[in-house]
Chains A and B, each alone.
Chain A
Amino acid sequence: MKTFIALLSTLLAVATASAGQISGNIQRTRINGIDVIAYKTGVKDVVYLRGSLPAGDNKAPAANPMIPTLVGGMLSRGTQSHAKSEITAMLDAVGASISFSVNSAMVEFNAKCLAKDVPLVLSLLAEQLREPAFTGEEFGRLKQQTLGGLKRALESTDFRATDEFSRAIYGPGHPNRNATIDERIAALDAATLDDLKSFHAAHYGPAHLTVVAAGDINVPALQAALTRSFDGWSGGTPRLAAIQNSATDTTKEQTVFMPDKTSVNIVIGQATGMRYTDADAIALRTGTAILGSGFTGRLMANVRDKEGLTYGIGAGVANDTFADGEWKITATFAPALLDKGIASAKRQLTDWYENGVTAKELEHRKDNLVGAFKVGLATTDGLAQNLLATVHRGKELTWLEEYPEAVRSLSLEQVNGVIKKHLNPDEMFMIKAGTVTEAAPK
């Protein structure tokens, strides 16, 4: 404890990156098959470890969409060498943490600790990834807690709107299409420990594992710890190739009626067929930011600031990291102002789509995006997140230096051209979730 406190007492300010000096500070190596990205910053004693491997929901067996999520949930519930409580005690004693999450393509981990504890955390992380205990008792608990989470999700207007939207714009089999809550509850009920073990054996391994370490790291010591902890591990499957989206036959406007709600969430949008790596991606994001990012975006400036119809409205491109993604407007409105709010949002959408953005708006937004990029890299965790996101997006790490120029070089014609090329308001879907009077069950 004394050593721990002494170490803390030497804390100095964080040191991070400016956009122009990133790649020169990165040490990227392959250890036991793992892609290791190390970035030493000037921060004292603090280390962030982030990483992922492709064992996400898109690899779920056809019969059960919940298996990848459940396997991810079991990673922190004990290993073949240590019980859950023992691992927690070891981490708690040094104030460290490791957590896991599962998205459409990846299982991700997020760990943080003091520099001296990196070997301990990596050894526990390796244990959790390599040899989860898969005990029946913990599996039962995980199932019950997951069921609770699914049921509580039914209470959220935000969740219900975006969840339904995913099934409106993505066809069956697309990785961004969510299974319904009922389907997930049924899959949860049907899942067995053997299903989880099989999935883990098939998809977990070092071959496509990425580890990002940022902060006060001793790179040789980090590499030695990774060599030791992951020695002898094999396996792992590559990311799945992107699946082409198929159109759905869903009606263009849908309402998820939820009684007793004082605010309605809406989503208006469409699938784009584009990924982040596509040539038009940055232009579409920039044009979209002019419509719907921040307080000066047209939606906030008009629908909120001028007309007072909503607390929050925005537009963005999303879910395009691992597959072709979507474009959408999201907003909340009081039930009494819903029609007015939707009409106002659609006016802005139509004007933006028909008439495009102006040269002045584009110049201001470029300044905004480049400035925000600089601010986003000004923390050690922000740096670690962006390094991992760059890998996920299939970009070289030099992208973090190239991004400002990619934004600066956009022309007005390019931005207005991609809006017309990839979007069509007439084809967009609209989902409302909340107490929408006309949708109330009779």
Chain B
Amino acid sequence: MTTVTARRPRTRRNVELALLLLALVVAMGGYGLVGVTQDGAWPPGLLGYGAGLAAIALALHLVVRFTAPYADPVLLPIATALNGLGLAMIHRLDTARSTDAAAFAPRQLVWSAIAVLLAAVVLVVLRDHRVLQRYTFTAMVTGLVLLLLPLVPFLGRRINGAQIWIGLGPLSFQPGEIAKIVLTVFFAGYLVTHRDSLALAGRSLVGFRLPRARDLGPILIAWLASLGVLVLERDLGTSLLFFGLFVAMLYVATERISWIALGLALFVGGAALAWSQFSHVQDRVRAWLDPYATDVYDAEVGGSFQLVQGLFGMADGGLTGTGLGAGRPDLVPFAESDFILAAFGEELGLVGLFALLMMYLVLVERGLRTAISVRDGFGTLLAGGLAFVVALQCFVVAGGVLRVIPLTGLTMPLLAYGGSSLLANWVIVGLLLRISDSARRPAPTRPRDETEPDTAMTQVVRTA
């Protein structure tokens, strides 16, 4: 018998290492330039910061080498670069405050370490992403609870108008960030088992297949939940994020445009209804449509001061920006979290903003590529959903800051200050690394029987 031994695909781990070193140089360069601009010397904290970030990133690189050797080599460097640049900008915003007490950068570095550790735990503990499918309904319950947690009296906190936070003593947390992972797991698990009935059943109307009434249940529940978030938690972003994620995954699972049309119609109708009924929704829309009007700009509640200041800062940055440390991004409230993109736009200019958006786009498209190449349906839906949720969050946040859509309370993944957001997004990176490893790993060779296949009595059919 002649055997053709397929060449083992290269693991590309050294490519990842090289890109990772580049990412570290970029991030440390950003951190260092803040000091050079402001004090004319490399900042004293540069070595500690650089060593911390490098240790975190290289540790995860080693974990990937041993537990997911075939993982996509671009994911980790991009996540590290975004995290590192975010740290540099948060440090830069710290320097604009006169007191050291409120320094955010050291805390963000600690959160980064915890988040990367969690991503490593995901890679070590979860050796096969298909295990997650067993927890489909646990994920559903957990996700809904997390989503609605900010509404619990005494626990929920309203920050900057949106009630998407919970507080425990001095700690506050955005449960929606974790919910987006858990709910993606649920959607993937649910849709992979129900996709056929959702896709094929139902009557056809002018080439448009209408779903059966009983199949409408899940989309209606998702719709009501997202409307509840919009109205009760006062955040269009979270609402749009979850409903958009659900509709996108529904479409990927069923391959039917009708679900998207139905979903969009439901969302637009629901949002219009919420707009006509609730004054805080109207405030947000007014601040979006007419932010420069004096009464809107000066309004204490639901005004457009933050949005307009962000736009002013970005306009001031122009094409090439003021340079790191030379602008005034600190004039924008919540510049280190909600408006970190405006801070980058001001100091690194349009060029820097493009570079950041391109990094996100590459990250997302690598995730979608993973979804296409992975062999199991659950993995496809999970990777596709996770990649899309990152993309959608970027759009919702950046679109809010750039006045494409009304402003929301979400933050840029990996870049912005915030522990919950960092944890969630590094876990997403960990999951994508895991799934991409299984996508690129050569198919396991069947254990060879002594007998020739033709002569065997039975053949084991392996399901992927």
- A and B interact physically: no
Which chain B residues have a beta carbon within 8 Å of chain A's beta carbons? none
